[in-house]
Amino acid sequence: MATRNMLRAKLHRLHLTGANVDYQGSIAIDSDLLDAAGIIEYEMVHVWNASNGERLETYAIAAPAGSGEVCLNGAAARKGAPGDIVIVASFGQMEEAEARRHEPTVVYVNADNSIKRPALAAAR
């Protein structure tokens, strides 16, 4: 049976706090945000920069809880600058029946990357 690749979780409109080219790669995200979205460390994520249109795939690493840190590292650091607004998304494969019932987790944040409201499933 075929599976569908579905949006599983999204951190919506994060503000980049850093861009470090002298790191081997990834995006560092406050571990409170990762937990709220259900994204685990080293999971592949898509990063969409709403400020400049850049898009990339990398993996998430945990930054200190409560820090508000969202930092592009390595080559990805060339795709954004502090202050840029980004969306971080993860996807998962699901069987057809599960995919049709699925609602992704969406976490909204304030300008300091604190959680604006509790993570909730996207409205249909």
Residue keyed to tokens 């790191």: 23
Angstrom distance (rounded) from CA 84 to CA 79: 10
Active site residue 59: yes
Please list, in sequence order, all residues whose beta carbon lies within 8 angstroms of the beta carbon of residue 88, skipping any fewer than 6 positions away.
Answer: 10, 11, 14, 27, 29, 37, 39, 45, 46, 47, 48, 60, 70
Angstrom distance (rounded) from CA 10 to CA 45: 9
- Catalytic member of 59, 90, 108, 114: 59
Assign residue 7 a region (left: φ > 0; alpha: ψ between -120 and 50; beta: otherwise). Answer: beta
Active site residue 23: no
- Catalytic member of 26, 90, 108, 114: 26
Catalytically active residues, by annotation:
26, 59
